DNA sequence: CCATGAATAGACCGGTCGATCTACTGGACC
DNA sequence: GGTCCAGTAGATCGACCGGTCTATTCATGG
């Protein structure tokens, strides 16, 4: 009986609580809040992550993995047509920004809040954006778009804009607005 | 000789230093940093602004005034053609995000960093976005766009996306990408 | 000449920050 | 049974947080 869920170790509990609290309260949350929310001893944080910065970076890494998987799942569920797969991303965004607890893009918030350009979190967010960019670019290439790199930049810009507007002007239905523009980007490839 | 610059009072000095430091270090900057950077006494802050929150709100108000004036100036300098006036905004954005000290949109950063939804800063940023939205919508109406309100939302989304991408992917030349999309929005009005 | 009021300097408050440390617990493994 | 070690609990550290306070300076105007 060594199996069973074993209630998840302190590392996992801390990561989960940090993922939640760094989003709702920002990366400026105090360590104590993370520890008490996860019922993890102070010392365990430093043994597992070396410090707050390491924990934040790991949280971003974990969230980025999940979010990238969500992108892939969304596109996979949309079938084999690259156009449908890309537009499905904006339909998914509409649901994301409509969630009552939506508070904007976690990665942009982290980049803006972490003033130190050498903070390890920045490298994580940078790589995440590259991965999403690559994801989009591949679909655009499959679509036969003449400039998949530029178009991927534009789609990424629409995604960032949607998440920003979703946080600051939720009543403007930004995902729908962005989807219309995305269609025009894709039409340039179908021409 | 009551005139002369008189070196600006403590209120102005503090506002100026806070405008600079809340941008470079975020709204989480300590009060002491703002006071020592402006050579203002601690007490003066509380007499003029009531506290840190009041100071931050006033800084956002001041910055919003200046930025709105910059929008108006950019459009005025672009002549009388609404299309030229709107596209000039994105040319101006290209220069903004190219500045070496560019650190993203001040207002979005504030909204993301101020976790308390009742913080007075949020009201300031909300009104600022409404003003810019109105500015864009008026030009779109003058252009004869069939849906100036939706189009203004889309332009605002492109602006937010440009500022976000400029902070996180500066090498992607987001303003140029956004301008191309903006042209398509405007073309819907010229049709 | 002196009263007024804005601004300054800076001590001080309780609280919190991230980080380090010691002491202890409990279960796994040999 | 004894060893080992991850994890817990919590005291403690210096630094800083936002905010309040007293005392002082200084230019102005009656």
Residue nearest to nucleotide D16 (CA to C1'): B30
pLDDT at residue B189 tops 80: no
**Which among A153, A164, A168 has the least Cβ separation from residue B177?**
A153
What confidence score (pLDDT) does residue A93 get?
98
Q: Are B108 and A113 in contact (CB under 8 A)?
A: no
A30 touches strand D (CB under 7 A): no
CA distance B154 to chain A (A): 6
CA gap A113, B112 in Å, rounded:
8
**Which among B26, B112, B177 has the least Cβ separation from residue A150?**
B177
Across residues B18-39, what is the average pLDDT? 95
As a whole-number percent, the residues of chain A with pLDDT over 90 amount to 93
Q: How far is the CA of B38 from the C1' of D29 (A)?
A: 29
Place of tokens 């002369």: B4
For chain A, list the domains and their CATH numbers: 56-190 (1.10.357.10)
CB atoms within 10 A of CB A83: 20
Q: What are the pLDDT digits (tens) for B113-159? A: 999 999 999 999 999 999 999 999 999 999 999 999 999 999 999 99
CB atoms within 10 A of CB B6: 8
* Region label for A21, one of left (φ > 0), alpha (ψ between -120 and 50) or beta (otherwise): alpha
pLDDT at residue B1 tops 70: no
Q: What are the pLDDT digits (tens) for A90-136? A: 999 999 999 999 999 999 999 999 999 999 999 999 999 999 999 99
Give the nucleotide with minimal C1' distance to the Cα of A13.
D7
Q: How far is the CA of B126 from the C1' of C5 (A)?
A: 37
CA gap B51, B69 in Å, rounded:
27
What confidence score (pLDDT) does residue A189 get?
63
> Do the chains contact at B104 and A111, CB–CB below 8 Å?
yes
Q: How far is the CA of A43 from the C1' of C21 (A)?
A: 10
Cβ-based burial of A151 (10 A; exposed 0-12, middle 13-18, buried ≥19): buried
What confidence score (pLDDT) does residue B73 get?
98
pLDDT band at A9 (very low <50, low <70, confident <90, very high): confident
Q: Name which of B126, B124, B182 is nearest A165 in CA terms.
A: B126
Q: Alpha-carbon torsion A18, A169, B109, B86, what sign? A: positive
B165 touches strand C (CB under 7 A): no
> Do the chains contact at A112 and B113, CB–CB below 8 Å?
yes
pLDDT at residue B4 tops 50: no
pLDDT at residue A2 tops 80: no
As a whole-number percent, the residues of chain B with pLDDT over 70 amount to 95
């Amino acid at each position: 009986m060594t199996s069973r869920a074993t209630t998840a170790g302190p590392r996992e509990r801390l990561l989960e609580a940090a993922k939640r609290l760094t989003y709702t309260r920002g990366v400026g949350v105090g360590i104590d809040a993370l520890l008490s929310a996860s019922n993890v001893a102070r010392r365990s944080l430093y043994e597992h992550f070396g410090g707050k910065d390491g924990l934040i970076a790991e949280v971003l890494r974990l969230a980025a993995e999940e979010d990238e998987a969500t992108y892939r799942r969304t596109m996979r569920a949309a079938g084999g047509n690259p156009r449908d797969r890309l537009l499905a991303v904006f339909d998914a965004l509409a649901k994301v920004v409509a969630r009552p607890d939506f508070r904007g893009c976690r990665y942009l918030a982290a980049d803006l809040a972490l003033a130190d350009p050498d903070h390890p979190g920045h490298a994580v967010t940078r790589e995440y954006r590259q991965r999403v960019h690559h994801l989009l670019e591949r679909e655009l290439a499959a679509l036969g778009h003449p400039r998949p790199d530029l178009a991927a930049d534009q789609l990424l810009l629409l995604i960032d804009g949607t998440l920003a507007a979703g946080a600051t002007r939720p009543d403007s239905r930004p995902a729908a607005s962005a989807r219309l523009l995305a269609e025009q980007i894709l039409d340039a490839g179908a021409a």
